Amino acid sequence: MNVMFDECPTMLVCSCNYITDKEIKAVITEMLDEDCWQLIVPGKVYHAMGKRGRCCGCFPNVVDLIIRTTEEYHALRKTEETKVINFMERLKQFHEEQKAALAERRQALTASRRAAG
Residues 34-74: tens digit of each pLDDT = 998 888 999 999 999 999 999 989 999 999 999 899 989 98
What pLDDT, on the 0 to 100 scale, is given for residue 101?
87
| 8 pLDDT more than 80 | no
Cβ-proximal residues to 83 (8 Å cutoff; 6+ apart), any chain: 74
**Structural domain includes residue 2:** no
**Structural domain includes residue 4:** no
Own/partner pairs, 104-109, CB within 8 angstroms, 24+ separation: none
Residue 52: phi, psi to the nearest 5? -130, 145
| Domain containing residue 28 | 11-116
Among 19, 20, 25, residue whose Cα is nearest residue 10: 20
**Structural domain includes residue 80:** yes
Number of separate domains in the chain? 1
pLDDT tier at 95 (50, 70, 90 boundaries)? Answer: confident
**Structural domain includes residue 5:** no
* HSE value, Cβ hemisphere, 13 Å, CA-based, for 73: 23
Question: Model-level pTM?
Answer: 0.65
**Structural domain includes residue 69:** yes
3-state secondary structure of 28: helix
Angle between helices 59-76 and 21-34 (to 10 degrees): 50
